[in-house]
Amino acid sequence: MDRQDLLFAPITPSQATHFACEARFVADYGTSVIKLLSPEPGEKILDVGCGDGTLSRLVQAGGAEVVGIDIDAAMVEASRQNGIDARLMDGRALAFQCTFDAAFSNAALHFMRPVPLVIESVARALKPGGRFAAELGSHGNIAAITTGLVAVLDRRGIDGGAHIPWDFLTAEEFCDSLETAGFLIDAVHTFHRPTPMPSGAKAWIEKLGRWFLDALPPEQRDEACEEAARLMSHTMKTARGHWTADYHHLRFKARLATK
């Protein structure tokens, strides 16, 4: 299939829209990636950025043998408590060669910058013909959130742009990186997924945007967070007081060429 036929194909928004807290969204939306990957019993599967292991557990329950990696020691420990063989490892420098039948990742690759390095690292970890399916933020993802957080740092004399902790590629850039690493692309979708923030922007920033706040002295963080939320409210808060994050995501499935 031609690259143009793969890009920007519509995706069916089948996910429910309301959940109890932000953290639940990640795992609930992640089941789409698992379906795309179609893991088989007995396969060796790598979860890149496994977090607390919720999705790894799902795959393991289906009979596959899962190894999870994460750069956050607390997450690795949480995964282990969940019964996952989790390793403390940088996704850009995986210590595996031709080991896995398939790899997946949900809402994590964009934190492993630059993303093309992770793609190459996963390619090395897979056996020839190995599958790779993932969902991550794409270009324009959480634009209002990022702009608000950059602005509050800039206003305090800190280069906010230098503290952006994520890398959101366009589908075109992402496909180029997959192909350069030796993958054949089976499917790519980009889609807008307005995502409810039940606890509001401030709670989201404290949990998922804390890298910006860490650039400030502790006594300035709360006020900066409130200011960022105020800036975001103009585009992210409805007249009825509901907050929605402007997620733009990319989901793909690819397989390594057999050489």
DSSP string over 200-259: HHHHHHHHHSHHHHTTS-HHHHHHHHHHHHHHHHHHHB-TTS-BEEEEEEEEEEEEE---
CB 253 within 8 A of CB 197: no
* Cβ at position 204, least distance to ligand BEZ in Å: 8
Choose between 126 and 245: whose C-beta lies nearer to ligand BEZ: 245
Strands in 65-70's sheet, in edge-to-edge order, are: 85-88, 65-70, 44-48, 100-106, 126-137, 244-256, 183-196
CB of 25 to ligand BEZ, least distance (A): 8
Q: Quick check: 143 and 174 in contact, CB under 8 A?
A: no
State which residue, 43 or 246, has the beta carbon closest to ligand BEZ: 246
Q: How far is the CB of 97 from ligand BEZ (least distance, A)?
A: 29
Residue whose CB is less far from ligand BEZ, 64 or 152: 152
Of 51 and 137, the one with the shorter C-beta distance to ligand BEZ is 137
Residue 10 — left, alpha, or beta (φ > 0 → left; ψ -120 to 50 → alpha)?
Answer: beta
Question: Where along the sequence are the contacts to ligand BEZ (CB under 6 A)?
Answer: 107, 137, 141-142, 166, 208, 247
Q: How far is the CB of 108 from ligand BEZ (least distance, A)?
A: 8
- Looking at the Cβ atoms of 104 and 247, the one nearer to ligand BEZ is 247
